[in-house]
Amino acid sequence: MSTANNTGDLQASTATKHCVRLLQTGETFMCGSYETLLQGMARIGRKGIPVGCLNGGCGVCKIVIRSGNVKKTGAMSRAHISEQDEAQGVVLACRVAPDGYVELEVTGCIKKTIMRAQCGVMP
């Protein structure tokens, strides 16, 4: 099992890769337990996936975990993710890593990019 160190980085030496499915498109990608879901999502090759602050502060990478478990890699701004949201699986992709098979839905800015590409219209 990977753990976060004091700087918020994950230790890759004990990493495991997990399958992650984007429910809206049916696409899957592999994501290491040492990296965030946003990093894994970026590898599916979608042009224009919004990458903001990468530290849980801007809210552009909001997703909903529908199945499976994730572990937090750092704090998420309460301005974007309330405690109630978090309890319902709403998280920031730049601040969580997979801890097994995960199914997720994208929302907000990321959803626009993912769905536009799914329809064959590239950003």
- CA dist 103 and 14 (Å) reads 23
Burial of residue 19, with CB atoms counted within 10 A of its CB: 0-12 exposed, 13-18 middle, 19 or more buried:
middle
- Residue 98 as a binder of ligand FES (CB under 6 A): the answer is no
Closest to ligand FES by CB, 13 or 96 = 96
- Residue 40 as a binder of ligand FES (CB under 6 A): the answer is no
Let me know: does 36 contact 94? Beta carbons within 8 Å.
Answer: yes
- CA dist 1 and 97 (Å) reads 11
Binds ligand FES (CB under 6 A): choice among 54, 74, 86, 118:
54
CB of 95 to ligand FES, least distance (A): 7
Closest to ligand FES by CB, 48 or 52 = 52
Closest to ligand FES by CB, 79 or 120 = 79
